[in-house]
Amino acid sequence: MAADIYSLLLDEGLISEEQIGECRKLEEELSVTSDRAIVEKQIVSEKRLLGILSRQFGYSYYESLDGFRVPEVFLEKVPIGFARNFNLVAIGQENGSLLVATSSILDLHPLDDVATWVGCDTEPVLAPGKEIQALINKAYEKDREMGDVLEGLEFEGDLESLAEDLEGTADLLDVAQQAPIIKLVNSVLHQALRKRASDI
């Protein structure tokens, strides 16, 4: 496909034979794919290149990932270092497949690893590298913060058993200070956070 990319850009007058030679040299020196070499040499901007490739090869392209939410299964199964290193992140699920945004279509092997970890097929879509990295940082940081919150909640037993501890018709303010009600509130919060509930 590398040759196809160079030929495509050459046909559109966006790259010269000399520049192709420079890119191939950079590929060898830095062990990068041709699309990365093209962007590194600033021959074509990443956004423009991704737009061209999406139209040519039929991949969906998202110039911005604002508003996308990373599926929980991706955060749980895919290490953040792997996501950052290969510049990829899941942005949703469709027809049983995990939609994974990547800034390169020349090396899709990492998506095979993701498929193995999450237990379903993956479907690549294109997005700028900066957008992917920003979503990775946002999603994993939010997930880590939620983990810290859950660790801070002491949870023992279930809601039903805790509710049974609240006997009698004591004054509401008095009840609110009792250990059972504190445990009950913690339990509700714990389960809501686990389920990513929007209303508690």
For residue 118, what is the domain's CATH number? 3.30.300.160
pLDDT the model gives residue 172 = 46
The beta-carbon contacts of 189-194 under 8 Å, at least 24 apart in sequence, are 189/153, 190/150, 190/153, 190/155, 191/159, 193/146, 193/149, 193/150, 193/153, 194/150
pLDDT: which is higher, 193 or 10? 10
**Is 59 contained in some domain?**
no
The reply to whether 89 and 29 lie within a common domain is no
Asked whether residue 160 is domain-assigned, the answer is yes
Same domain (yes/no): 129, 78: yes
Q: Residues 8, 36: one domain?
A: yes
CA dihedral for 146, 151, 154, 157, sign (positive or negative): positive
Check residue 64 and give left, alpha or beta (phi > 0: left; psi -120 to 50: alpha): beta
Quote the CA–CA distance of 88 and 123 in Å, as a whole number. 12
Do residues 179 and 133 share a domain? no
Tens of pLDDT, residues 177-187 = 555 555 555 55
146 located within any domain: no
Express each pLDDT in 157-168 by its tens digit. Answer: 555 555 555 555
Number of domains composing the chain: 3
Domain assignment present for residue 64? The answer is: no
Specify if 125 maps to a domain: yes
13 occurs within a structural domain: yes
Residue 50 in domain: no
Q: Are residues 85 and 130 in the same domain?
A: yes
Is residue 39 assigned to a domain?
yes
pLDDT in tens, 103-124: 988 888 999 999 999 999 999 9
Report field, pTM of the whole predicted structure over 0.75:
no
The whole-number average pLDDT for the span 48-69 is 94
* Distinct helix (H) and strand (E) counts, the chain: 11, 3
Domain boundaries, position 190: 153-194
- Please tell me whether residues 122 and 80 are part of one structural domain: yes
Residue 169: predicted pLDDT = 47
| Residues β-bridged to residue 94 | 97
pLDDT band at 47; cut points 50, 70, 90: very high
- Does one domain contain both 93 and 126? yes
Residues 123 and 82 placed together within one structural domain of the fold: yes
Do 165 and 189 sit in the same domain of this protein?
yes
pLDDT tens column, 65-102: 999 999 999 999 999 999 999 999 999 999 999 999 99
State CA 147 to chain mean position distance.
17
Identify whether residues 116 and 82 lie together within a single domain. Answer: yes
Residue of 135 and 156 predicted with greater confidence: 135
Task: Give the per-residue pLDDT at 119.
Answer: 96
What's residue 107's pLDDT?
84
The pLDDT of residue 159: 53
Residue-wise pLDDT tens digits, 121-155 = 999 999 999 999 999 999 998 756 555 555 555 55
